[in-house]
Structure 1
């Protein structure tokens, strides 16, 4: 019935067995039913609407369905909405669909699906998403509804809803098809937005259903979260799931075990703190050991044991005992050298990120050890024993390195190169004689050598011992990185007591390294018989302390080819018989130990460096402030001295004016005669007096003042030069402390040029404005001028007026005139004087600025150092934790190496 209603074929039930057209058959039924006293036309009208709909007469169908009530009423309303949908009246259709009210689950689902189609056609994708999710939630078993939802979500790239659908359907149906869909989503990387615990129930279900698929799903999720913030949450989810699951060793969880191994290694690379790892690692290791098989079990067991060693009691002791048992019973493990290389590279990368230098010498040594294509033979011996000459004989050419004070390494290579290596740098050297080397440096020579290539040999020539009673740390460094030691003895004095003691120290420092001897310079022995006797005596001496050691005799005078062939046999018989390649891993691990120790010491050294830098900077600021105060005192002194000097000569000039001006005016009495016109004589005298003053100013006063100014400027230049000398001494003192040219205090001598220019300007073309000398209204002048006008015209009174004027001019002090002349003459020089202090300040300004800038920079550096030191002290785990975790990885590698050594030991015992 529901299917017929869905397909709009309910009418077939009513006209079953009738051969006429449905419309005609339904018409006849309608007429018959209508004749009844109580007619029930609902079913017929509903059926007629279906037929009209089938024949695309949507308006007629709507007309028939509009008044349908009862059980078919909701279906009729849904069909009306379908008709409007076909008529593309989408808003009307949507409104009617939403108005359908029914308890029939099939009808309800059909409405959902029709709305879904409606929204897709109308490009209302968010509404389509909501309605299809509602449909799936209502009845996920409804035919094709989940397929439609999945297709829609994928088309819209609505991955969160697609993932949610796949997860829910996987759990609900337990269908592998849905698990596979989800797995594909995860591999595409579209499931990262979902938290790991969202997949827990799905994984648990799959774990029980299909272990193989479970492993693939878990690995895909692991990779999905590996580089996200949800990584730790994922580890918790998978750990809990594996931990509580029943596991059979019959299934080999190789891929999942690899993920555990990679996770353990990655978590210990210095990016996480111990407090973050302690809650995670023990369970992770327990699960790894639980699911691992074969060689993976050994790696997991080593990880458990190494973690427990660094963090005792953090692991379940039953698991620890199980791990130790596995390690004790294991007989083989691969890839130790490669794993050691990876560990060193991760340590070096972490150190570089934290601004720490592992050191070029250490990196070089690790790189050399990782190359197992050639045997590393270390040449040692007393200075003058002929080591370098023997090395040149092996190489087949003269190297010219006899004066080099560092270590020399020579290897065969198709590309020639000379590289000098120190702890701090690595540089290319163009000529062997270009550098004598510093203590501890390494000259790495790459050249073409048939003998080294054929013997797969690399020779390292350590600096000769020269009376030392103990071996140096540099020699120990090379000893630890060598496969064998050849100690060169001088035939003229072989195996001295000092050499014996040194060799015993060498043996104690590296008990595993094979030691043999080269008796060199045999050409200095007088005869073959003596040579044979000396060889025997030397071997006997050596044998007392080194019973396994052999002695090879050599001389540059003997035939080269035979000696070299014999030496090749000597090498193969005495050095290459041991498992030198297998020992390389152990050597690399030892150097990694040294690296971690160095980094821990570097931490304390760095902290001390910051403390020293802070203290030193604080002292420098104190010294710089002292220099600022000294410079300020010097500035004040120079302002006082130079200003006082200027005022001194200015006062001298002023004093001269007060002397000379009255004198000049007194002498003007000679300009009066008895024949003078005393009615106008004061006017004439006033003019002539001013001219005399102008003449004095121009010819005497101004030149004298200019000369005094120049003298003052010269004296000021000497004062500035003295100041510059002081500033040079200060600069030199500070630069010596800084050990660099950081401070250069310079005075601004342009001030003197400005003063010279001002002196020229002020003393050139100056003219004093005429002064009212005899035209003023003083009582004496008024009486003279009045008498002159009244009596001057009378001849007999001229003598009297002459005497009166002469007496007045000779007796008047004229100090007021001198004052006016002084004020007018010195006016611009007074302004100049006011600027002297400012100009002297300009001379010192640059020096003050540099000192202040240096103080500010030093204080800023101090603040940065203090913040860095505070951060180091407040967060010691940021530095300490990674090194501790690297120690865990190192311990794991060492345990794996012990497994391999035990295997090799068994092989040797069997042989």
Structure 2
């Protein structure tokens, strides 16, 4: 049988020449060919095949092709492949490709070689898709062929065809189990090339690797985890890996620290408020179960507490066996893992979430938490009743007179190089100059240099005088949780009364972490030293019944000496918490987190209620303001009617006066006619005089009266407008009381009156009536009279008759039409003014009306906005509620850890 190696490298000819010592291979094969021809049935195919190889090696490709074209033995498919190789070398690539593709053989080696040649040809022609398909086909039918898989991977890498490269690597990992393929896959994962593949794709690889190399398995799982964390299929990955680890046998000899940390980080990420509960419930229980199985001694407390907190909030979701394991592991845990940093991060997450949702979590709590973060300074709360003169003890400790009397606020006194005073309210922080004007129950931060506070690393908290009301107040409850130690100042004259005892038991009940100590103040009021010692001993004995760990210190502000101050300093030092400050602060921080979460839940209810109330209130305001708009419109119509009517009456009065007076004036002109008048021209003279008398009457009599009437009308209008403004001001005050803001301004435009005044001056100043043809009209009587005057006016005996006729004519003539015409001309501009009154009065009310309409629009906008917000809140209430629930799970986890630590 012919060796595949000889055929691959075209060295089959060596089988003919290796046994011959002398002669060239070409010569030897020629001689062998001649010898074979002499046989009766010669077999020349093998010799011709060998000759073709030699011609090929000597680059006589045409001769090689000639030799290989007529091979009929078992070497025929190899000869066909060799012909294709020759055409390839000649650069006739298309011919070579057709020949390669025409070869049909069951010989795997030959098929592999043909595929490799085609692969090379396609790369040379830059037909990379065909090259990829060819190498994939070769790997599929002969993956063990030397260097094929490495060649394929190299090609895929060069083409950045990561999907094909990863498929190759995964298949080879599963087929061979060789570690190098897992390492290559690890590299692809680290470079981010696997991001487009579904998580289930890697399940078999992980199963195999977990059985062969757990270190590499852990690394690969962690890398895939980090990659899928950035993808949309992250939850699908979590489901896949949960399912995988459900049946995974944990090797106790191997430390799964990195993988357990990944479980931990994932759990904290899932419950940080960005996901809803229904999204997490199918994933988290299994995630916690697997984490608990993998956690080492440094993580087991955290994992066990996470299991218990989830099970506590979502009862019956966790496997009871897992819960039992968590309880046992937590009880047996010898590692006291501090929760302070984790609790601080939880609080920051809660605050960031509340800020994002525009929910105020309370400035006082924020400030108290900031105070808690300083673990280098202990907080000493000093309180007492109003009879104990607590302030004198505080002042003596600090060596400064903070206040002559008890303040109604809570003072937090801190050592600082830069003195300042800050008032903390429910919503803001305000800088103050002194303590002269502070709100009761507010928090006041006082910073100033204090050697005593610095030496003892202390912050003092001074409260208002304690009574039953103070003890139960939320301010005292908060401030007592912020304190590490409490000193209660007693009055030595009547120390530790039942009233004081009951209050302190309430404090102990509500702030169980707080250690309580006592100062017997005003010892100077006791008459003798023996009585003082007796009272001190009896008081200490009574105190020990309820507060067995309490220290009791005798003090008097009257004994202001060094020895007493040294003893006070020792008392304070002995009363400090000691080495467990971080644990105590963690308890306090968790308390404030719970208070904040409760506040946020209540805020949700308040926010919804506020929006419901706001919608109802704005709807009511729309009705009220629309009613006010209608009222204003009625008022406007009324003023248009009354003011316009008043103006028309004045105008009609003037018109009537003109219609009555002008005819009278014109008739009186008859006195101008004399017997010796020139009757041929008298009609012209009379017409001029009549116009003069009309103009004179208008200027001297009509205009002054009209002007005075208009001024009186403007004054009456002003009174009407003023009354309207008064009513509108009352209306605005009523609305502003409802708005609790000076939103409504119903000021009217009194400039209208100024415009009217100017128009009245203009219209009644220097009015000139056009010359009117009174006697020059073409009426029959006038024509006859003028004609007679011209004809007979120069005849003396006819003058007496003309005189009588003219006089009678002037006295009996109907001047009503003349008066009507003059009145119309005179009043024309006043009628134009009248037509603008409606517009002017409307302009007077325009500002007030616009303000009312704006109020309606604002209320309708607020209704729309609040309704949209309310609909959103009611549509998906879990978007607000679920993050708080998840925050509570983290809170309970840290509370479990605190409990285990103790």
TM-score between both structures, scaled by the size of structure 1: 0.89
Structure 1 spans left out of the alignment, 5+ residues: 902-911
Q: Is 1:292 aligned to 2:295, yes or no? A: yes
**Distance apart, 1:696 and its partner CA:** 3.8
What is the number of residues matched between the two proteins? 899
Do the aligned partners of 1:10 and 1:50 also contact (CA within 8 Å) in 2?
yes
**Any idea what SS the aligned residue of 1:443 has?**
strand
Residues 188 and 815 (structure 1), Cα distance of their counterparts in 2 relative to 1, 3 Å cut? same
Residues 541 and 781 (structure 1), Cα distance of their counterparts in 2 relative to 1, 3 Å cut? same
**Residues 871-910 of structure 1 aligned to structure 2 (within 5 Å):** 871-901=872-902
**Distance apart, 1:713 and its partner CA:** 3.7
Residues 524 and 186 (structure 1), Cα distance of their counterparts in 2 relative to 1, 3 Å cut? same
More deviation, 574-583/331-340: 574-583
Residues 723 and 70 (structure 1), Cα distance of their counterparts in 2 relative to 1, 3 Å cut? farther
Partner residue in 1 for 2:550? 549
Do the aligned partners of 1:269 and 1:350 also contact (CA within 8 Å) in 2?
no
C-alpha distance in 1 between matches for 2:91 and 2:713: 107
Q: Select which of 273, 279, 290 maps to 1:270.
A: 273
Q: Is 1:490 aligned to 2:491, yes or no? A: yes
Do the aligned partners of 1:404 and 1:435 also contact (CA within 8 Å) in 2?
no
Q: Is 1:653 aligned to 2:689, yes or no? A: no
**Any idea what SS the aligned residue of 1:774 has?**
coil
Structure 2 spans left out of the alignment, 5+ residues: none
Q: Select which of 405, 421, 425 maps to 2:424.
A: 421
Q: Is 1:682 aligned to 2:672, yes or no? A: no
Do the aligned partners of 2:467 and 2:503 also contact (CA within 8 Å) in 1?
no
Could you report, residue by residue, the CA deviation over 1:450-478 in whole angstroms, capped at 9, with x for unpaired residues?
A: 43333333321111126748542221222
**Any idea what SS the aligned residue of 1:377 has?**
strand
More deviation, 93-102/226-235: 93-102
C-alpha distance in 2 between matches for 1:743 and 1:31: 125
Partner residue in 2 for 1:592? 593
Partner residue in 2 for 1:199? 202
Partner residue in 2 for 1:777? 778
Residues 819 and 13 (structure 1), Cα distance of their counterparts in 2 relative to 1, 3 Å cut? farther
Partner residue in 2 for 1:328? 331
Partner residue in 1 for 2:304? 301
**Distance apart, 1:691 and its partner CA:** 3.8
Residues 180 and 602 (structure 1), Cα distance of their counterparts in 2 relative to 1, 3 Å cut? same
Residues 473 and 135 (structure 1), Cα distance of their counterparts in 2 relative to 1, 3 Å cut? same
Do the aligned partners of 1:393 and 1:560 also contact (CA within 8 Å) in 2?
no
**Any idea what SS the aligned residue of 1:271 has?**
coil
**Distance apart, 1:831 and its partner CA:** 2.5
C-alpha distance in 2 between matches for 1:71 and 1:803: 164
Partner residue in 1 for 2:462? 461
**Distance apart, 1:242 and its partner CA:** 0.6
Partner residue in 2 for 1:904? none
Residues 469 and 777 (structure 1), Cα distance of their counterparts in 2 relative to 1, 3 Å cut? closer
**Any idea what SS the aligned residue of 1:784 has?**
helix
**Any idea what SS the aligned residue of 1:742 has?**
coil
**Distance apart, 1:843 and its partner CA:** 2.6
Q: Select which of 155, 174, 186 maps to 1:183.
A: 186
More deviation, 278-287/692-701: 692-701
C-alpha distance in 2 between matches for 1:535 and 1:480: 29
**Distance apart, 1:289 and its partner CA:** 2.2
Residues 862 and 87 (structure 1), Cα distance of their counterparts in 2 relative to 1, 3 Å cut? farther
TM-score between both structures, scaled by the size of structure 2: 0.90
Do the aligned partners of 1:206 and 1:213 also contact (CA within 8 Å) in 2?
yes
Could you report, residue by residue, the CA deviation over 1:395-453 in whole angstroms, capped at 9, with x for unpaired residues?
A: 34444585642212233456655443233223444x4x156432332223344444333
Could you report, residue by residue, the CA deviation over 1:54-87 in whole angstroms, capped at 9, with x for unpaired residues?
A: 5556677677777878876766666666566666
**Residues 162-561 of structure 1 aligned to structure 2 (within 5 Å):** 162-383=165-386, 385-400=388-403, 402=405, 404-413=407-416, 418-429=421-432, 431=433, 433=434, 436-465=437-466, 468=469, 470-543=471-544, 545-561=546-562
Partner residue in 2 for 1:905? none
Residues 90 and 765 (structure 1), Cα distance of their counterparts in 2 relative to 1, 3 Å cut? farther
Partner residue in 2 for 1:909? none
Residues 799 and 53 (structure 1), Cα distance of their counterparts in 2 relative to 1, 3 Å cut? farther
**Distance apart, 1:324 and its partner CA:** 2.4
**Distance apart, 1:553 and its partner CA:** 1.1
Could you report, residue by residue, the CA deviation over 1:754-798 in whole angstroms, capped at 9, with x for unpaired residues?
A: 444544554556543333322333332233234334443433222
Q: Is 1:728 aligned to 2:729, yes or no? A: yes
**Distance apart, 1:237 and its partner CA:** 0.6
More deviation, 18-27/112-121: 18-27
Could you report, residue by residue, the CA deviation over 1:97-118 in whole angstroms, capped at 9, with x for unpaired residues?
A: 6666655544544454445444
C-alpha distance in 1 between matches for 2:73 and 2:92: 26
The Cα RMSD (Å) is 3.4
C-alpha distance in 1 between matches for 2:856 and 2:90: 85
**Distance apart, 1:815 and its partner CA:** 0.9
Do the aligned partners of 1:332 and 1:899 also contact (CA within 8 Å) in 2?
no
**Any idea what SS the aligned residue of 1:190 has?**
coil
**Distance apart, 1:617 and its partner CA:** 1.5
Do the aligned partners of 2:676 and 2:799 also contact (CA within 8 Å) in 1?
yes
**Distance apart, 1:552 and its partner CA:** 0.4
**Any idea what SS the aligned residue of 2:299 has?**
helix
Residues 649 and 113 (structure 1), Cα distance of their counterparts in 2 relative to 1, 3 Å cut? farther
**Any idea what SS the aligned residue of 1:487 has?**
strand
**Distance apart, 1:238 and its partner CA:** 0.7
Residues 552 and 140 (structure 1), Cα distance of their counterparts in 2 relative to 1, 3 Å cut? same
Partner residue in 1 for 2:161? 158
Partner residue in 2 for 1:907? none
**Distance apart, 1:488 and its partner CA:** 0.5
**Any idea what SS the aligned residue of 1:454 has?**
helix
C-alpha distance in 2 between matches for 1:608 and 1:485: 40
Do the aligned partners of 1:337 and 1:370 also contact (CA within 8 Å) in 2?
no
**Any idea what SS the aligned residue of 1:516 has?**
strand
C-alpha distance in 1 between matches for 2:212 and 2:516: 63
Do the aligned partners of 1:481 and 1:587 also contact (CA within 8 Å) in 2?
yes
**Any idea what SS the aligned residue of 2:674 has?**
coil
